[in-house]
Amino acid sequence: MKVAVYPGTFDPVTLGHIDLIKRAKDITEKLYVAVARSSAKKTLFSIEERLDMLRHAVGGAKDIVIDSFEGLTVNYCISVNACAIIRGLRAVTDFEYEFQMALTNRKLDGRVETIFLMPSEQYTYLSSSMIKEIARLNGDISKFVPKALAEMIKARCLNAN
């Protein structure tokens, strides 16, 4: 079975993330959407909230597992028998970092490949950071995140000011 992992912080989940999840699922038999438990990154939403957002956005989809992990992504991949890491490339600015990460992961464990997916054109500019900034400034984020989550995300961003 071809298993892949799409790791990220998903703080918050965006329509760009969902686009990549759907596209990654089309090329894998099982996809783990794995929320990183990183102490180095300050997140607006707790790990449980981010998992719940993802479950709400893609929960119930066949052969998609929403999970969390700590530590190296390649180690998590091996633990779930994944042969690939899915990474999104929105623009040239993403490439250098992602390329370095892919080569480092290959050195750490050559059994895990990195697959780069480009989002649909309508999401190439989208980032969680941008969503949080728009929400902090009381802008409409409903075109960028799942509609059912927009108000909750906006409220959290406004209260974080």
Q: What is the pTM of this model?
A: 0.93
Q: At what angle do helices 147-159 and 128-136 cross, to 10 degrees?
A: 60
Digit-coded pLDDT (tens) for 98-138:
999 999 999 999 999 999 999 999 988 889 999 999 999 99
Residue 73 pLDDT greater than 70, yes or no: yes
Catalytic residue among 90, 106, 136, 156: 90
Sorted by where each starts, the structural domains of the chain and their CATH numbers stand as 3-122 (3.40.50.620)
In the residue annotation, 128 being an active-site residue is answered as yes
Tens-digit pLDDT profile for residues 135-156? 999 999 999 999 999 999 999 9
Which residue among the candidates 17, 50, 87, 132 is catalytic per the annotation?
17
Q: Are 67 and 59 in contact (CB under 8 A)?
A: no
Tell me if residue 41 is catalytic: yes
What is the per-residue pLDDT for 41?
76
